[in-house]
């Protein structure tokens, strides 16, 4: 069975600082990989996704993620965090070419200090 681990439950960074949110997955083959963001009381917004090809993926709001097969990781990064980035971030995986059944990580809550 596939699983997703987000090791950091909470992260606090200063505004303007760089950010990296970790995501590790366990799956027999290379899955499809996603990052979603959830603001309080809201649904999830897709930040970016990786299906194949270039392992560095650019997303919305200045976010990027890098797929590293050797480490089974798909970490999310942003060079300079804005106060509006404070939210909950979810990494998710789904089987490639086998439907779109998502398995979510536990989430990482990002807080931004002024």
Contacts of 109 (CB under 8 A, 6+ apart): 9, 10, 11, 87, 88, 89
Contacts of 111 (CB under 8 A, 6+ apart): 10, 11, 12, 13, 86
Q: Are strands 108-113 and 10-14 parallel, antiparallel or unpaired?
A: parallel
Nearer to other proteins, 49 or 77 (CB): 49
Site residues for other proteins, 30-69, by CB under 8 A, read 32, 34, 36, 41-46, 49, 51
Least Å distance between CB 33 and other proteins? 11
Size of the site for other proteins (CB under 8 A): 23
Asked if 25 and 2 touch (Cβ cutoff 8 Å), the reply is yes
Site residues for other proteins, 86-105, by CB under 8 A, read 90, 94, 96, 99-102, 104-105
Contacting positions for other proteins (CB under 8 A) = 32, 34, 36, 41-46, 49, 51, 90, 94, 96, 99-102, 104-107, 109
């Amino acid at each position: 069975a596939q699983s997703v681990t987000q090791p950091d439950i909470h992260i606090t960074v200063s505004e303007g600082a760089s950010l990296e949110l970790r995501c590790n997955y366990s799956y027999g083959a290379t899955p499809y990989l996603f990052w979603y963001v959830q603001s309080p009381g809201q649904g999830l917004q897709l930040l970016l996704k990786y299906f194949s090809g270039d392992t560095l993926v650019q997303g919305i709001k200045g976010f990027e993620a890098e797929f590293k097969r050797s480490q089974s990781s798909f970490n999310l990064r942003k060079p300079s965090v804005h106060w509006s980035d404070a939210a909950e971030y979810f990494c998710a995986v789904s089987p490639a070419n086998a439907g779109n059944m998502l398995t979510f990580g536990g989430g990482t809550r990002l807080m931004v200090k002024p």
